[in-house]
Amino acid sequence: MATDGPLPDSVDILVVGGGNAAFCAALSARESGASVLMLERSCEDESGGNSRFTAGAIRCVYDGVDDLKRLMPDLTNLEIEQTDFGTYTQEQFFDDMGKVTEYRCDPDLVELLVTRSRETMLWMQKKKVRFQPIWGRQAFKVDGRFKFWGGLTVEAWGGGPGLVDALTNAAQKAGIDICYQARALSLIGDELGVRGVNVKHKGQIHEVQAKAVVLASGGFEANHEWRARYLGPGWDLAKVRGSRFNTGDGIRMALDIGAAPYGHWSGCHAVGWDRNAPEFGDLDVGDGFQKHSYPFAIMLNANGERFVDEGADFRNYTYAKYGGVILSQPGQFAWQIFDTKTKHLQRDEYRIRQVTKVSAETLEELVQKLDGVNAARALETIKVFNAAVQQDIPFNPNIKDGRGTEGLTIPKSNWANIIDEGPFEAFAVTCGITFTFGGLRIDVTGKVLSSDLEPIPGLFAAGELVGGIFYSNYPGGTGLMSGSVFGRLSGASAARHVGAEISMNEHQ
């Protein structure tokens, strides 16, 4: 239940954070009967961290429609008949993680992520989190049948807000206390053992003793200074897609007592995001500022030039690194150009009210409207692109169709279409950072390791602040899955630690 009164002096297990990873850790810890308190830095209305901002897309293993039916019992026979769900096997998930991280990801952590994804989803479902297929975003209808692509098939009912609400209900039902506007400041203890947390709550500093602490307070994406320091010059200029509260507190607190940093500290997940979006995420818009239909468009920078292969792969496998590519362009922006033929493939987010968009009947008129762009060069680039499209290869958005370009320095490898039929549309994007990849080092039980690579007794971690899972890139839907798998794992390990501590005290 939400704790409005004073913070308790002590609790068995203290979970820092209020997003998906924190809830999964708290729910799992609570199964042992231990008392659990969650500290959420934000007020209740803004709670849920980045998890609330998501569409709720969650990547998990399934060997066929029977697995999906178990997870989503509401699936009707008609829906099943009309859909080719394919499979997403463990091997496919492993391959995707290896491929997108250039085989840098920690094999032990990824093994847990992949092999526990299905059972963790079923565990969440038992806690009354509901799921549904992502009809709208991950499947195109071909010959009257939906076909899913890219390994991402399931989303939480009601998206991120639905997920956080369901988890909050589950936590309340389980008797977990949640304290809002409670910012963890530092850990009590050292690398030989953690005994609680110093907390700022309603303008006062409190000490809360705990037998175990699970850190699940997100990455450092909302910290301008750390972004410039670790991600590099220019990253302080990125917009933050989600929560303003993920400023790296949990990481800092653990490093302060000797925890090991791990993973890709100069790497992050960042996407093309509306150029005029606010500094931090806006819960009313959610992920609507993203502009993810670029595989069916071309992108031009301020010089009027293309700068990336928009069709290198399915959106799921490129979107998380293209934000950084946009950030490195002059002025940190780009325009996505569509003609009428591909307009129907634009995702919902292209139709939100708060969109930076221009339209024109002719290309000559359109390039004049592209704010900040060399118009003459832009027109030339489009003409050269059009001449290079391999028109003899049929266009098919469901597969990597190989309909690319010939002879361009920067090719477009799939889904290339001549941009020649008005009205034309262009959307201005900049870089929106989602979350950072570097963080703490955990072992396969979720224990935080010291820089001597020894577990710090009583300290566990899950979610965005765990390093070693993502490097350079990321397969869509894996952030939530990682938070769920490692949250559940670290919560259970924290409970075992508490159990062991209690029985040790009883025998003394």
Ligand X SMILES: Cc1cc2nc3c(=O)[nH]c(=O)nc-3n(C[C@H](O)[C@H](O)[C@H](O)COP(=O)(O)OP(=O)(O)OC[C@H]3O[C@@H](n4cnc5c(N)ncnc54)[C@H](O)[C@@H]3O)c2cc1C
Catalog residues that contact ligand X under the rule CB under 6 A. 16-22, 39-42, 47-51, 53-58, 183-184, 216-218, 241-243, 245-246, 249, 281, 287, 434-435, 463-464, 477-480, 483
Got the DSSP string for 303-357? TS---S-TTSS-GGGTHHHHHHHHHTSGGG-EEEEE-GGGGGG--GGGG-SS--E
- Residue closer to ligand X, measured from CB, 18 or 397: 18
Estimate the share of the chain in helix, then strand, then coil, as percent rounded to the nearest 5: 35, 25, 40
Beta strands 455-461 and 177-179: pairing type? unpaired
CA pseudo-torsion sign 257, 221, 58, 149 = negative
Q: How far is the CB of 96 from ligand X (least distance, A)?
A: 13
Determine the Cα–Cα distance for residues 500 and 254; give it in Å rounded to an integer: 23
- In this complex, which beta carbon is closest to ligand X, that of residue 239 or of residue 497? 239
Q: 227 vs 412, which CB is nearer to ligand X?
A: 227
Q: Which is nearer to ligand X, 246 or 417 (CB)?
A: 246
CB of 479 to ligand X, least distance (A): 2
Shortest reach from residue 297's CB to ligand X, in Å: 20
- Tokens describing residue 184: 């963890």
> Cβ of residue 287: shortest distance to ligand X, in angstroms?
4
Nearest approach, Cβ of 389 to ligand X (angstroms)? 32
Least CB distance to ligand X at residue 52 (A): 7
Q: Tokens representing 42?
A: 């934000």
The torsion of the CA quartet 188, 260, 201, 159, rounded to 10 degrees, works out to: -140
Which two tokens mark 363?
Answer: 């290309």
Alpha-carbon distance of 451 to 216, in angstroms, equals 20
**Closer by beta carbon to ligand X, 316 or else 386:** 316
Nearest distance from residue 302's CB to ligand X, in Å?
A: 26
Strands 83-84, 145-148: pairing kind: parallel
* Structural tokens at position 359: 């339209």
Look at phi and psi of residue 453 and say left if phi exceeds 0, alpha if psi is from -120 to 50, else beta: left
| Nearest distance in Å: CB 317, ligand X | 14
Q: Helix, strand or coil for residue 133? A: strand
Query: Please, which residue, 48 or 404, has the CB nearer to ligand X?
Result: 48
Looking at beta carbons only, is 397 or 483 nearer to ligand X? 483
Q: Which lies closer to ligand X via its Cβ, residue 20 or residue 430?
A: 20
CB atoms closer than 10 angstroms to residue 376:
11
- 375-383: long-range pairs with CB below 8 Å, 24+: 375/304, 376/304, 377/303, 377/304, 377/305, 378/300, 378/304, 379/304, 380/304, 381/298, 381/300, 381/304, 381/305, 381/306, 382/298, 382/300, 382/337, 382/419
How far apart, in Å, are the Cα atoms of 249 and each of 178, 210, 406? 18, 18, 49
Give the contacts of 107 (CB within 8 A, at least 6 positions apart): none
Give the nearer residue to ligand X in terms of CB position, either 301 or 434: 434
When the beta carbons of 301 and 472 are compared against ligand X, the nearer one is 472
**Shortest distance, position 486 Cβ to ligand X, whole Å:** 9
Q: Provide the sign of the torsion angle of the four alpha carbons 496, 9, 448, 472, taken in this order.
A: positive
Minimum Å distance from CB 22 to ligand X?
5
At 433, which helix (H) or strand (E)?
A: strand 424-436
State the minimum distance, in angstroms, from the CB of residue 102 to ligand X: 20
Nearer to ligand X, 57 or 426 (CB): 57
